[in-house]
Structure 1
Amino acid sequence: MAAVVNIRRDVKDKFYRYKMPVLLTKIEGKGNGIKTVFPNMADVARALNRPASYPTKFFGCELGAQATFNDDTERYIVNGAHDQERMRELLDSFINKFVLCSSCKNPETELLVSRDDWITADCKACGHRGDVENKHKLCTFIVKNPPKKASKKGKKGAAGADSIAGQPGQVDGADGEDDDDQDELSRKINEGAQALLSEEQAAKLIAQREADEDWGEDTSAEAVARRMAALGVGASLLADEDDDEGDKYSAFAATVTSDMSNADIYTGAQDVSTKSYKVLVPLVPALFSDDIVAQLPTRLALLAKMTSNEKDQKALLGGFERFFASHPDLITPTVVGKVLLQLFEADIVAEDVLLHWSTHVSSKYAPKDVSKKVRKAADPFVEWLKTAESDSEEDE
């Protein structure tokens, strides 16, 4: 079990009531696949009353490295080998910028995101409400992934006296939070679908919607209609987007030209949707032509800016599948391998995502035969990734 320290490490008072576990690090992998894992990041984040993805993403921003996280498995990773003390210093910086009250310096704060995407910290100790460092790159991620609201059961701040007295670093009321942010479908069910569905039907519908996110699931309009009919649900209940929503993203992609700057494309994409994964699939084929290997380096900064989480990375790979569907002559180990290698070395797509993608053929983004061919062409690159990982395990 990790030792416990003061949340403000500059405070030496051993009776200081705001505590957290010492951040632990573990180096895994070898060569290009080396990474730093944080085994107890979830516990540290609970003590700070922040999602664990926030400090992990903060580390990635500060180090210029790809950060990946999975709240279900509580696995949080930053690519590259990083010194433990350096990571603890970065955690102190995160606490100072995004946890401590700017007035009383207590960590009893909650982050609030306004409608104009401005982030403030509301202090429950002194009542002060002040701005965080909104110019930091992390703020873009926070706006896209706002903190969950506390339940109505009287959830106390993670850093508050009641939440840590006797059990430093543990959070009362954590069980009251949902595992994932509610999507539009969940909100519609909570707001009014109970009148149309039984509780059992609603649970099945939500479970099915979550299952649809899997790459191997058929998400065509016909398949969705079949699942809706099986549940006895009308199409209007699932209409969380306008009928022409998909056309909106394709229409934007059609306006993209080779001479447009990355900044202009990013701004246009944000105007269409702040959810990058919706824009990336039609955008990628519009960005590249037959000379994709030479063109890709000029767009890596744009793709890195638009991939802040695993869902974005999956959509990005789906976009490249769609590109290869329209350029079948380029589906070769050389071209596909060079594309994936650039994405991996630029820390745009994580190793875990690439390995998962390589084993899950899907017709979600391109015809299934194209999906198979692209993954087959990627085999040499994937084997290289696996070899680096296995070599590391043998050394250990």
Structure 2
Amino acid sequence: MASAGVVNIRRDVDDVFYRYRMPVMLTKVEGRGNGIKTVIPNMTDVAKALSRPPQYTTKFFGCELGAQTILDDKADRWIVNGEHSADRLRELLYVFIEKFVLCAACKNPETELIITKNENIIRDCKACGQQTNVDMRHKLTTFILKNPPKKKSKSRKGTDTSTKEKGEEDQSDGAQSAEDGDALAARIKSEAAELAPVESSAIANDGWSADAEVAAVTKRTGSLNVNDSDEEKGDDPMDQLRLWIEINRDNATSQSVEEKLVELGIKDKHRTVQVVMESLFTSKIITAKELKKFQPLLASLVSPIEEKEKHQKALLGGVERLVGLTYPELTDKVPLILMELYQADLLTEEAAKQWGTHVSKKYVDRDTSKRVRKAAEPFIKWLDEAESDEE
């Protein structure tokens, strides 16, 4: 059985002695039919070589391919739904490297991502000292802003000197000392040394070919969890719900989802309505009649609750996140989605009008909120005209 081998991080560099290398990314297709998915068994090792969390690289594939992803850090499972060729994913990995790893000034991969106070993402290069902007139009930037990388600087001797808490974004911290650059270079060098050695000729001839069986992957030594905040998000019932939906969406029913909500103890929480709305539905929400399929579930979450208005707001917040962040291509379908919710008695006229005329940053950024509400104008206008006709 062939070993994975390593390749240069920069695809335009063919020097076999190039110091920055990464393992060849392996892929394996599992399942069949609607449940088919592509597993990346050594994503943790690849991401480690890039000094990026594996969540970022896997989510990038999902954004580029328009596919759902499963980011299970504890089980070290990195999955892109659907069948995708190894060559296609490896090509996208190079695109990720160019956009989110390489310094735009010197093309060196010795960078780290920094989130500024005004929520821009920059690449801070330890090699040349330049700070270059990331293209904030890419969908992945939204995910990075929600799940910022943990920053931990070390002294030359390897002892911790500071730990930056999530949310304390300060662009001035990007100006690191020369000692920090030496420390990072030493760390990258040591990590590269841990990779399985291969002959120079093997590197030149191997290219991107590799055995895709999981058995060919070395045992994981640890992984980053960018979802950590003040509390361990792995224990957050909402995150558990999202992960469960990702894994079981194809076979889920209203009853099975409701049973999971009861098991997690979150059935009556208004935030549950938002998470279900944004996580359970896909880009086929209209064409595959997903809303009709899960109407009983949504009715049980929204209708019987005394604080119905609060739950309807959460429902609309889920629509904003579904359309505004995950599936922007659904923007022109917003009136149809709202109409189905309205006709199913899941959304009242009053709640719809209130939402449609008041931009809010509670669930998405202001620009996204405006865009989704702009798309909803035909439905809001229809409600006004229907009210006038009744009068």
TM-score by length of 2: 0.50
Superposition TM-score, scaled by structure 1 size: 0.49
